[in-house]
A and B are shown apart, each in its own frame.
Chain A
C-alpha cells in the first residue's frame, strides 16, 4: 500500500515524460495521476488503524544487505497526515500548472510527479539511507523546476538553493554513514538510539537548511520569489515539512540525549526565526515576500513545538505542519493568480482588488484569517497546542510565541489590505478578472480542507501519535515518541 503510494506518481511521471503527449494531454494525465494519488491516500487513511501503536502498512525488501540497507517503508499516524497534506498540495500545484499551461509540459509534469513520489518516499522511509535517497531525490526535480520555469533571477536563486541544501545534505550524509556503520544497520525501526551529539547536529543541520530555520534561511527569499508560484507552494508547503518529519523521526526519536542537551540553543534559534520572520514579513515589499518570511516564522513555531518535547508540542507541531502546508500553498497559488492579473507582486502597486472581484476577495480573506490564527481556526488550534507545549519548557518561549502570533496578525492584515483594499493600485486594471472557475477548482478544495480542519482539528492532533499518548509534563516524557522506535 505504502509502496503503491510511492510508485504511482513515479510511474506516472515516467509515463508523462516518455510518451509523446501534447501539452493538454500531458497536463491532464498528470492531474489525473495526482488525483488518483489523493484517492489512494484516502484509501490508506481508511485502512489505517489509529488506535494501534507502531509502524503500519509497512513493506520491506532487501537492497544492500552487506551494509544493512534495505527498502523499508511504512507509516505512522503523523506521517500519514503529512503525506495527505503533501499529495493534496501537489495535486493543487499540478492543477495550477495545468491551468496556466507550462511550456515543455512533458518534462514539467513528469518532474512534478517525480517530486510527489519522492516526497511521499521521504515521509514513508524507515531506512536511513532510503530516507537520504528520497530526500536528495526531492532536490533534483525542484532544482530543475525552479531553474527552468522560474523567473528572471532563477539561476542565482537555484544556485543558492542547491548550495545551501547540499551543504546540509552532505553533513547529513556523513552523519548517516557514521551512524549506520557504527550500528551495523541503517534501519530506523530496528536500531536503537544514539547519544552522539555530533551526528545529531549533522542531521539537524540538514533539516534546518531544508526547513529553513533561522540562520540557514539565506536561500529562502530568492527561491520563493523566483520559482513559479505553484513550485513555491510546494517548496514552502511540502518540502519544508520533510524537514519537520526528519527532525521528529530521526533527530528527536533517535537522539534523545543530544535532543535534551541541545534543545535550548535550538529553541532560541527557532524563537529568533519566529520573531525575525514575522518582522521581515511585515516589511516585505511584495506578496510572495510576505508569504516567504511568514513561512520562516511558521517553521520556527513548528520547531518550538517539536523541541517542547511533550505530546502537546508534538501534536501541535504536526497539526500546524499540515495547516501551514495547506495555508502557504493556498496563499502562493493566490499570489500566482494575483501576479497573473497585475503582472507584479509589489504591494505598493497593488490594491483595491476586492472591488468587483468578490470570489478572490472571499478566498484571500478566508485564508488570511485562518493564517492569522483567529480563535476557532485550525491554525489557532495548532498554535495553541504548540504554545501550551512549549510553556512547559519555560514561560518565556510561550510569551515569545504569543507575541509572534500578534505579529502574524499584523502582516496578514497588511497583506490583505494592501491587495484587496485601499485605493486601486497602478498595476491593477479594471479588466483584470475575478478568479476563474478553473482556479476555484484547485483553490476551493484547499480552503475546504482548512475549514474542515478548523471544525475538527482533533482529527489530526489526536490521531498523529498512537493512543497511549499520555499528557505528561516534563522533558523525560517521550510518550508519543515511545511508540516510534
Chain B
C-alpha cells in the first residue's frame, strides 16, 4: 500500500497534524487579538493540510494532495476577508481586543 516512505510512519505525521490543529483550536478559543485568532485559524487549516498530504502519500493516491492545494487557496481568501474586516474595525476604533467587541453580547 505505502509507496515506501523513507522516514517516519504516517502516524507521526498524523500526530503533528493533530498537534497543529489542537494548537490552532486553542488559539481561536483562548486568544483575544483578532489577528492572532486569524493566525490560529490558519494553523488549524494547515494541520488538516498536513494530514491530507501525509494520508495521500500513505494511501498512494493524489486526491489528498489536490485537496490540500485547494484548501490553501480557500485559506488565503478567508484570511483576505478576515483581514479586511479587521482593518475596517480598526479604522473605526483602534482598540483591537475581541473581548471588548461587546456591542453584541456573546
A and B touch in the complex (CB under 8 A): no
Q: Which A residues are closer than 8 A to B by beta carbons?
A: none
B: residues with CB less than 8 A from A are none
